Chain A
């Protein structure tokens, strides 16, 4: 049973456009919702994260929108750049248990 569902699997966006990736979770015990960015040959690295007591968090061009009642959260990348081309993973964690569950990933390609 997949606890975190991510969509789309792949996404192609023109430079300057908005990239949107969605995730849905099932377990209401999750208390930390990060997004990780992974470049080829590298390990994932934290991009931005949110906790369920807020509905939105913005860091530069990256925004997380969080809907607790719908158990959904999304990543918005504004003014997408070719350097944003990477694989993005959403995750849901129970922080005091050290347990994290990841979505399947989205491969983003930003065309110049």
Chain B
């Protein structure tokens, strides 16, 4: 089954404690990206990657890091989380056609 898998699905952490949200896709897609979803603000792109070792900033990259060492994986790293990073995060992948395939989402709360 074609899918994008994110973990963890739910996480409560404290300010400053580093965390990583993993993302893996099994569709051999070149493109992967991370979004955050906040009420009334839609989906905002954090980072995206066009292929292995190629990443670029999206619209809201501050406070986040990513890496793309393998084609299937694209982890999102919060080095020092702050309360304003409390949000619902989605990983997505796409092939050359442009359709985005989203994961189920990771709800993060930073206290």
Contact = CB atoms under 8 A, between A and B. Distances in A.
A44 B102 CA distance: 6
A103 B104 CA distance: 20
Interface residues of B, number: 29
B42 A102 contact: yes
Interface residues on A, range: 20 to 34
A89 B43 contact: yes
Interface centre among A31, A41, A43, A95 (most CB of B within 10 A): A43
Given A32-B98, A98-B31, A44 B50 contact: no
20 contacts: A6-B42, A31-B98, A32-B98, A34-B99, A42-B105, A43-B102, A43-B103, A43-B105, A44-B102, A45-B102, A46-B99, A91-B100, A95-B94, A98-B48, A99-B48, A100-B33, A101-B45, A102-B45, A104-B42, A105-B40
Interface of B: 4, 30-33, 35, 40-45, 48-50, 58-59, 90, 92, 94, 96-100, 102-105
Interface of A: 6, 9, 31-32, 34, 36, 41-46, 49, 89, 91, 93, 95-105
